A and B are shown apart, each in its own frame.
Chain A
Amino acid sequence: MNEYFDEMFEGDGSLRGPFEEIGRWFNAEDASRLRSKQREAEEVFRLTGITFNVYGKAEAEERLIPFDIVPRVISAREWQRLERGIEQRVRAINAFLHDIYHRQEIVRAGRVPAAMIAENVAFLPQMLGVSPPGQVYTHIVGIDLVRTGPDEFYVLEDNARTPSGVSYMLENRETMLKMFPELFSATNVRNVSDYPRNLRRSLAACAPNCAEGEPTVAVLTPGIYNSAYYEHAFLADQMAVELVEGHDLRVVDGRVCMRTTRGYRPIDVLYRRVDDDFLDPLNFNPDSALGVPGILDVYRAGGITIANAPGTGIADDKAIYSYMPEIVEFYTGEKPLLKNVPTWKCSDPEALSYVLDNLSELVVKEVHGSGGYGMLIGPTASKKEIAAFRDKLKSRPANYIAQPTLSLSTVPIFTRSGLAPRHVDLRPFVLVSPDGIKITPGGLTRVALKKGSLVVNSSQGGGTKDTWVLED
């Protein structure tokens, strides 16, 4: 009996339903051909420049995210359930954001403590009373899911600020289509390639009233040294819109305009991949060179749509996370369809003492951390690491939350000695517009390439897989 749920193989080694085709194909393939295909894929990625920059490294260092050729397959039935759960959660997140920046009914009802909002750095008082077009706050959401059993999915994290990774979802599929066309003829895999078109349509649907004709959309990037620059360029290219940086923009006559070869032209919808704090040096971090002075004032006056809206971080903050089941219930009147991982907030003294007593079994995360930095995974950490973390936790308990170590499911990767199980997670991408919620079937599967590792982040040596959702 496996300790972990493997998505491809049953305990007795037989193939699970969704993987039957892949299993047959793999067995019939010659390992050396697959190895050369794997190398070919990497060459394509390198040439195309599908790379990410590692923070803290030399500017020139662009790394590849390793790509594994064994797809992860999700059945139509499994996906339908996930889809319903994700949609419910994303609706609740948008309703929550609207409420938090207006009447704060959920606080008045005593379901979320007032201090949790008011004292949260992700809460932006500047957004109070602001209603974005279509009441859409999170135009793009990435919901991180993990699986622990046949029907057990948990939401690990909601990414409601500037979720990244969608370009990998798209490029992984393109690569697989190029390398193994025969696989796609044999199976009915749902298409993902219309994401950029849907993204543009969603963004355009949220244009402000002042937009004339077809809304002008642009992508705002921090620049070529940002870790996700490739993705920013990719999305702008695929949507056929301009890729701008802060210094391309300025406020002219109450509109945010971009400097073109023919003069300044207004932008209606800005898909920004710059954090709130850097968005507007006049209203937020005065040292930011990445943003646009005065953009927030234009936004508040309805002169531009910013996607995602400023201040959405209050909905995906790790401390708010533990309230998500209540948030979903409060706004939808339904039981949450997706589970939350039980979470101890270390700001609570009782929870803190439990966490300190059980460090070797828990995962401890920084409330505002991301990318797998600054976290402790108790079961795989050394005594020394645990001791060091204990001190950090005691000195700033409110900075941390703790969760039980989940038995993440595994999907095999292709290694030198054949298939070997590795832990995975899943980030489906969700588009929200006044016309509804669209979820691309599948998403980005991240895989911890190191045997036994539970950390899937690319900055920590994780890789990716193509993710297939089968047609009914």
Chain B
Amino acid sequence: MLGKTAGGLFWMSRYLERAENTARLLETGQRMALTRTQNSVEEWGSVLKTAGVLDEYLTKYEEVTRDNAVDWVLRDADNSSSVKSVIKQARVNARLVRTALTHDVWNAVNATWMKIDAATKRRVNERDLPGILELVRQQAALVRGATLGTMLRNDMFDFTRIGTFVERADNTGRILDVKYYVLLPTAFAVGSSLDNIQWESILRSVGAGGGYRITHGQKTTPSDIAQFLILDQRMPRSLHFCCRKLQENLSYLKKDYGFSGPSCEASTALYEKYLDQPIADIFDFGLHEYIQDFLNDLSSLSRQIEIDYRFYE
């Protein structure tokens, strides 16, 4: 398999995962802005910050408004991380690796781009936004279904999964960091029970409200939420889950190829350093610092994977 193809599969999956997560972030932002009586601007600011696009946004607009924030995050071509931009990039990568995709996966990716492109030709008004965000999630589910249902479980599949979980771990980490950081001062202490729907927005942003209730019941505490998003082994968007998948897929590659690069060990090190400890230790260390360090190490791991498997020249 060509190194370029491995890179194309990796990036296609990363972009699709980012599209889905960004859409969910927008959904949450919209909901929070509606349920909050004042200062929805702050909410949109935090959406921009979580998506990692606040600085670029401010080069185009002077202040944060709902309409501009939604447009920037959803469809602005100047924002390389907008939902529309990343879906386009996913399709470009899919075209690049077309010979490695099954008919079903290609059709799903291509249809995703065609539908989102058609739905976002113009600025999207408030009434149409929920439908479009739902479309993004549905299409992402379609691509995932086609991938799981039709692709051979070989190295191509491994690179697809690696891309997905690198991106997902990154996105969950960012959401936790920004939201938690913004909200923490309002809580008396991390162990206290909170009667604040704001906290639920964190869970909602990663589509984990239901899973959380099954695991922890109705009581939401900052500690439980952090535990759930970082250390829960069954929650498919937790850092723990994502890192374990990364480790697994890299070890499949090792077995398949009969060799491994530094990335394989680095994935084990990442797991041991960050996920093999109780949540209390993480709070003692400082959640913000913990997540920043994690995101840095994750990004180094990602770069190492690109080198080990010769994505580029």
- Hey, which bits of chain A sit against chain B, CB under 8 A? 46-49, 224, 229, 233, 236-237, 242-245, 247-248, 258-263
Known: A47-B110, A244-B4, A263-B310. 20 other contacts (CB 8 A): A47-B107, A47-B114, A233-B98, A233-B99, A236-B99, A237-B98, A242-B1, A242-B2, A242-B5, A243-B99, A245-B4, A247-B4, A247-B313, A259-B3, A260-B1, A261-B1, A261-B155, A261-B257, A261-B310, A262-B259
Chain B residues within 8 Å of A47, by CB = 107, 110-111, 114
B252 at the interface (CB under 8 A from A): no
Q: List 6 A-B contacts (CB under 8 A).
A: A48-B106, A49-B95, A243-B98, A259-B310, A260-B1, A260-B2
Interface size class of B (residues with CB under 8 A): 20 to 34
- How distant is the Cα of A84 from the Cα of B255 in the complex, in angstroms? 54
Instruction: Tell me the bound Cα distance from A47 to B95 in angstroms.
Output: 12
| Chain B contacts to A: CB under 8 angstroms | 1-6, 92, 95-96, 98-99, 103, 106-107, 110-111, 114, 155, 253, 257, 259, 309-310, 313
Q: Are A224 and B92 in contact (CB under 8 A)?
A: yes
Partner of A258, one of B2, B103, B111, B114: B2
Is the Cβ of A237 less than 8 Å from the Cβ of B6? no
Chain A, residue nearest B113 (CB): A49
Q: Chain A's interface: helix, strand, loop or mixed, by majority?
A: mixed
- How far, in Å, is A53 (CB) from chain B's closest CB? 11
Majority SS of interface residues in chain B? helix
Q: Do the beta carbons of A48 and B1 come within 8 Å of each other?
A: no
- Smallest beta-carbon distance A125→chain B, Å: 31
Contact A261 B2, CB 8 Å, known A47-B111, A49-B110, A233-B98: yes
- Give Cα distance in the complex from A261 to B310, angstroms: 6
State whether A261 touches B6 (Cβ < 8 A). Answer: yes
Select one of A48, A224, A261 contacting B96, CB under 8 A: A224
* A259→B3 CA distance, assembly (Å): 6
Enumerate chain A residues within 8 angstroms of B6, measured Cβ to Cβ.
Answer: 261
A233 near B3 with CB under 8 A, answer no
B4 engages A248 (CB within 8 Å) = yes
Do A233 and B4 contact each other (CB < 8 Å), given the known contacts A47-B111, A261-B309, A263-B310? no
Instruction: Evaluate contact between A262 and B257: CB separation under 8 angstroms.
Output: yes
Q: CA A258 – CA B6 in complex, angstroms?
A: 13
Give, as a whole number of angstroms, the nearest-CB distance from B112 to chain A: 11
Query: Which residue on chain A has the smallest CB distance to residue B3?
Result: A259
Inter-chain contacts of A261 with B (CB < 8 A): 1-3, 6, 155, 253, 257, 309-310
Determine the residue in chain A with the shortest Cβ distance to B117: A60
Residue of A nearest to B108 (CB): A47
In whole Å, how far is B218's beta carbon from the nearest beta carbon of chain A? 45
Q: What is the bound-complex CA distance between A244 and B97, given in angstroms?
A: 10
Complex: A242 Cα to B4 Cα, angstroms: 11
Contact check, B95 vs A229: say whether CB atoms are below 8 A apart.
Answer: yes
List of 3 A-B pairs having minimum Cβ-Cβ separation, nearest first: A233-B98, A237-B99, A261-B309
Given contacts A48-B107, A242-B2, contact A224 B313 (CB under 8 A): no
Q: Which residues of B contact A46 (CB under 8 A)?
A: 114
